[in-house]
Amino acid sequence: MFDIDDSALDKEKCYTTIGELPHYVDPKQPPTRKSPFSTVSRHCFVHSTELILPEEIYQAAWDSIANKISICQQYFDDLRGTKRRRQCVFSQRCPDERLTSTGILRLELDKSSYERAGLVGKSVRSGGKKHVASRYVVEINLRLPSMLHGKKGFERIVWAFKNVLNESLTWLFSDLSPSSDLSGQDAPIKRHSPQIFSCTSTKSRFQNVLTPSFTPSTFQAESEQAISELSDTCVEIQEWLALAFLGTPRLNADDSIDPYLSRYSVPNKENCTSSNLVKLTWKGLLPSHWITQLLIATLRSTAGSDSWFAISSHALGKEAVEGKDGYMILAPPCYKADTTEDNALKSDQKQPRRKFVCWEYVGCPWSAS
C-alpha cells in the first residue's frame, strides 16, 4: 500500500534565531529584513499578543511605552496613499477564506468554488492527499488602475462574487484610524449591525516567580559542545517563558506540588531569583506594524536597565500545512561594558549590543489557543 499522506502534516517546527540588536532603531523606519523585525513583519495580522516583564520595569517604564504604541496615522496614510479610512478585513469559514490587507484581496477556495469562480490562482497544500490539488489561492491587487467598474478584469471579480462567492459570512474588521467613529450614525458599516469591540490590554500579575538569570554568557557558544548546550538552553528558556505566559504555579518559589503530578523544574534553579512579573495581553486583529512599535518602544524604555522582557504573538493560522503559527521574542538584559581599571584605558572599547532570541513556530497547533 502506497503512502499518499502528506508527511509535512506531522512535522511541527520551531526556528530559533539568536542575534544582536542594532544600537538604534528608528520607529518611523524599522528594519524589515533582519530578525526579529522580519519575523514580526511576516505575520501581517495576529489574533493576540502578550508582553511579560518584571514588575519594577512595568511601573517605571510602562507609561512611556503606552504613549509610543498608539496607532501611527501617518504610517497608514503612506501605506494606502489615500486619506480615506484604513481598515483590515478578515473572514474565515470552511471551506473558503477571505483576507484583505493593504489593498491585496486573498481568497483561499476549495476546488469546486475555484473552478466555478473563473479567477486565476495557484494550488496550495491542504493537508490531504499529497499530489491532489484540493485548495487554491487567488490574490488580487485592488489598488491597480484596472480595478474600476467597466474594466474587464474588475467585472470578472464582480461576477464571481455575485454568482459563486455569494454565501453569507461573518467578517472581522480592524479600524486602523486612531480616532474611530464606527459607532456614529454616518459610519458606512453601521447598516450591517456590527458588534464593536475596543482592543485594550488586560493586566495580569504573577508574584514570587523563579526567574532564570539571563547573563551575557547564556546565549554564547564558541565550540561544538557549547552549541549543543546552547540548543538545550534555548529549549529550556522557551519552555519557561511559555509557562510564565500561562501564569502556572509551577514557577512559584514556594510551589510544593507532588512530583508524581508534575516533574517540571525551573532550569538552573540554584541561580534563579524570585521576582514579580506583569503580563499585558491584547486580543483582536492586530497588525504587524503595531507589534513592531510595541517591540521598539519596550526596547528603548528598557535600554538603560539590567532587565528583560518577552513578547509572544499567536497567528491566525491561515495555512493548513507548514503555516506560520506565531512567534516568541526574548530580549535579555543589556549589560554595560566592563569599566574596571584594566579596561578603562582601552579607548576602542564599545558598548555591547543587546542580544535577542526569537522562536518562530511553524506547522503546529500552538496558536489554537
pLDDT range class, residue 343, cuts 50, 70, 90: very low
Backbone φ/ψ region at 322: left (φ over 0), alpha (ψ -120 to 50), beta: left
Question: By three-state DSSP, how is residue 191 classified?
Answer: helix
Q: Calculate the CA 343 to chain-centre distance.
A: 41
Under 8 Å between Cβ of 357 and 234: yes
Residue 317 C-alpha cell reads as 493560522
Residues 294-316: tens digit of each pLDDT: 999 999 988 877 889 999 999 87
Residue 339 has pLDDT above 50, yes or no: no
Angle subtended by helix axes 55-68 and 288-301, to nearest 10: 130
- Of 343, 368, 352, 289, nearest in space to 74 by CA: 289
Give phi and psi for 193, each to the nearest 5.
Answer: 50, 60
Question: By three-state DSSP, how is residue 239 classified?
Answer: helix
Residues 6+ apart with CB under 8 A from 20: 353, 354, 355, 356
Question: By three-state DSSP, how is residue 165 classified?
Answer: coil
- Distance, in Å, from the CA atom of 180 to the CA atom of 173, rounded to the nearest integer, reads 12
Residue ranges covered by each domain of the chain? 7-76+199-368, 87-175
Residues 88-99: tens digit of each pLDDT: 555 554 455 566
- Of 37, 54, 55, nearest in space to 308 by CA: 54
Q: Which residue has the higher pLDDT, 192 or 368?
A: 192
The secondary structure of residue 52, as a DSSP letter, is: E
Residue 354 C-alpha cell reads as 543587546
Burial class (CB in 10 A: 0-12, 13-18, 19+), 244: buried
Give the DSSP per-residue string, 96-155.
Answer: EEEEEETTEEEEEEEHHHHHHHT---EEE--SSBTT---EEEEEEETTSTT-STT-HHHH
Under 8 Å between Cβ of 58 and 307: no
As a whole number, mean pLDDT of residues 56-67 equals 88
Residues 216-268: tens digit of each pLDDT: 677 777 777 777 788 888 999 999 999 999 999 999 988 888 888 988 988 88
Question: By three-state DSSP, how is residue 169 classified?
Answer: coil
Q: Calculate the CA 219 to chain-centre distance.
A: 22
- Distance, in Å, from the CA atom of 242 to the CA atom of 283, rounded to the nearest integer, reads 18
What is the pLDDT at residue 279? 96
Residue 39 has pLDDT above 50, yes or no: yes
Integer Rg of the chain from CA: 24
As a whole number, mean pLDDT of residues 69-74 equals 49
Under 8 Å between Cβ of 321 and 126: yes
Under 8 Å between Cβ of 323 and 343: no
What is the pLDDT at residue 318? 60
Under 8 Å between Cβ of 302 and 332: no
Question: By three-state DSSP, how is residue 90 classified?
Answer: strand
As a whole number, mean pLDDT of residues 342-359 equals 66
Q: Which residue has the higher pLDDT, 71 or 177?
A: 177
Question: By three-state DSSP, how is residue 63 classified?
Answer: helix
Amino acid identity for residue 48 in this structure:
S
Greatest CA separation for the chain: 79
Q: Which residue has the higher pLDDT, 176 or 365?
A: 176
What is the pLDDT at residue 74? 36
Q: What is the mean pLDDT of the chain?
A: 77
